[in-house]
Amino acid sequence: MITCKLCSSQEYHGAFFCSECGSQLVLLTDKNVDTLVYPSQARGLEIDISNTIPKKLLENKTFILYYPELEEVIPIPEQNEFTIGRKEEGQVITPDVDLNTYEAYDKGVSRLHATIRINPENNKIHVIDLGSANGSSINGFEIPANSEVPLNHGDVLSLGKFNMKVILPKELK
């Protein structure tokens, strides 16, 4: 377990951000963990965090959702808009990305939780919460339902209590 130096929250190995206060956890070469605390803790800071991401994940990918708890890349479709949620038996409309394999129900993920929209014209990626029961947040800041909110490289996207790291290629940063 990793202990956040700002709020003393316990995080799983591989976590990039504290789930309680949003501070970035950085793995040092001697395997000690330090917490970077920014004065404003605001989103959208221009910081290169590529050294905190396994290099193999950045190869030949256009957009990555990384699940640090299991240290896995979540498979996403090669399309400009897709939904994320969990499939249930008998469900008429199913999400494009099913998070059931990650115990999504226990973490409060709705069946149709959010949409991710990639706009290739202006190189931006947005997330839209679809009015989910447990809400969505970016770096701990709640996303209003049915509002399009930009995703930045290094953001932690939370669907309920399910946390994913957003990794964007250089051209989309």
Cα torsion 168, 111, 22, 25: sign: negative
Is the pLDDT score of 48 beyond 60? Answer: no
State the Cα–Cα distance between residues 134 and 112, nearest whole angstrom. 12
Check whether domain 78-172 has CATH 2.60.200.20, yes or no = yes
Residue 56 has what pLDDT? 53
DSSP secondary structure letter of residue 39: S
Task: Classify 96 in phi/psi space as left (phi over 0), alpha (psi -120 to 50) or beta.
Answer: alpha
Quote the mean pLDDT of the chain: 79
What's the pLDDT tens digit per position in 116-143?
998 878 878 899 999 999 999 999 999 9
What's the pLDDT tens digit per position in 64-104?
898 988 888 899 988 889 999 999 999 899 999 999 999 99
State the Cα–Cα distance between residues 115 and 97, nearest whole angstrom. 10
Residue 40 has what pLDDT? 45
Higher pLDDT, 43 or 81: 81
